[in-house]
Amino acid sequence: EAAEKGGYSHFAIKEINEQPEALRRALLGRVHQGELRLPELDALRASGTLDNILRIVIVACGSSYHASLLAKYAIEKWTRIPVEAITASEFRYCEPIMGPDTLCVAVTQSGETLDTIVGVRQAREHGSPVIAITNVVASGITRLSDAVLYLHAGPEICVVSTKTFVNSVSVLYLLGLYLGQQNGQVQPEQMRKLLDEFERLPGQIQDILDKANAPDDIIAPLAQRMAQVRSMVFIGRGVGYPTALEGALKLKEISYIHAEGFPAGELKHGSIALLDPETPLIGIATASHVYDKIVSNIQEVRARDAHVIVVATEGDEKIKQHAHDVLYVPSALEAFSPLLATIPLQLFAYYVAVARGCNVDQPRNLAKSVTVE
């Protein structure tokens, strides 16, 4: 097992560090010289199925659900087709309205999550075409789907998803761009620009990791200082909101610290009552069209004497006046920023868990594939 960890103390940190390579594999053969190819969807396209899609429903659980929530923003922007992301355990019991004009996209890294599989079965029964996004070749979900987009993340041993999360978001984005290209919403020039930005991401993730692995980095010492808190709050707006949900899930499942993610604008409707000097907050405030709004939410929190940590874009010096600690990530297009902001959150959760002596790779009560209801 030590050999499989390749010199790392845990699979978790090995897999976090594998993300640049994992993402490169997801893009390999699909993005090339400003063009996007998803041959896996050619048959669906040729049959005309994709021409009649009026609505997209993404069904998933846990981190895969958070990836779906993120993708909703980008797919709607790039296709102008309404997208709903729904957690599979709710979808299967909500008498979902599906049919041939509603594309069902199932996201499950294991390909075996029972709730997602049952949801897909229902979608099929209603006549919806199904595209599966999974990491595991020939897994259960692939047998129920009209087309499969693999994550190509490589094996993920740690129960906590890291590289499969980043690749799920990325493959969903590729799907969105493909559909946008099909329905004429994404023009060739825009496509080239977006794909160029996409191809920069693995290098940008590598930059974050290199910085985090340097002896003077602040994430591990910050995690050490936060290791004994009882509860943490994560906030974001727009794509920062699902990023906050994912950051909170990472922390709670790996370190057993209670953590919740909220849309920052909702804080004043109740959750702000949770905040006190003993409840640190992480705000996602990377460059975006709602940057000023999230900064104002962070100021409100700061006024409650909470310890404030912010994930921000490199070069944003102004944010320092509103935060006790700032975790910087490289500048990226707004849609792509969560793929970078997620990395320091994963590292933070990992180092907190290590400081608490938790069973990092196999947290209590959790399984890698949830094949029961």
- Of 161, 279, 297, 342, the residue at the interface with ligand AGP (CB under 6 A) is 161
- Per CB under 6 A, does 61 bind ligand AGP? yes
Radius of gyration over every alpha carbon of the chain, rounded to an integer in angstroms:
20
Residue 163 annotated in active site = no
Nearest to 329 by CA among 215, 219, 192: 219
C-alpha 212/C-alpha 15 separation (Å) is 14
Interaction between residue 19 and ligand AGP (CB under 6 A): no
Q: What share of the chain is helix, strand, coil (3-state, %, to 5)?
A: 50, 15, 35
Number of other residues whose CB lies within 10 A of the CB of residue 68: 29
Stretch that binds ligand AGP, among 56-64, 177-185, 268-276, 322-330 (CB under 6 A): 56-64
Choices 70-78, 93-101, 108-116, 181-189; region in contact with ligand AGP by CB under 6 A? 108-116
Q: Is residue 114 involved in binding ligand AGP (CB under 6 A)?
A: no
Asked if 68 is part of the footprint of ligand AGP (rule: CB under 6 A), the reply reads no
At residue 117's C-alpha, the angle toward residues 336 and 120, to 5°, is 75
Structure tokens at 230: 């009882």
Counting contacts by CB under 6 A, is residue 64 touching ligand AGP? yes
Pick from 68, 87, 89, 108: which binds ligand AGP (CB under 6 A)? 108
Give CA–CA dist 20/306, Å, rounded: 34
Is the CB of residue 334 less than 8 Å from the CB of residue 288?
A: yes
Q: Shortest Cβ distance from residue 159 to ligand AGP (Å)?
A: 5
| Residue 63 within binding range of ligand AGP, rule CB under 6 A | yes
Q: Residue 258 CB, nearest distance to ligand AGP (Å)?
A: 16
User: Least distance in Å: CB of 23 to ligand AGP?
Assistant: 17
Q: Is 62 in the site for ligand AGP (CB under 6 A)?
A: yes
- Determine if 255 is a binding residue for ligand AGP (CB under 6 A): no
At its nearest, how many Å lie between ligand AGP and the CB of residue 338? 15
Q: How many residues bind ligand AGP (CB under 6 A)?
A: 16
The CA distance from 175 to 363, in Å, is 32
Phi, psi of 208 (to 5 degrees): -60, -45
Task: Give residue 126's Cα distance to chain centre.
Answer: 29
**Counting Cβ atoms within 10 Å, is residue 201 exposed (0-12), middle (13-18) or buried (19+)?**
buried
Which are the catalytic amino acids? 368
Interaction site with ligand AGP (CB under 6 A): 61-64, 108-110, 113, 116, 159-161, 253, 366, 369-370
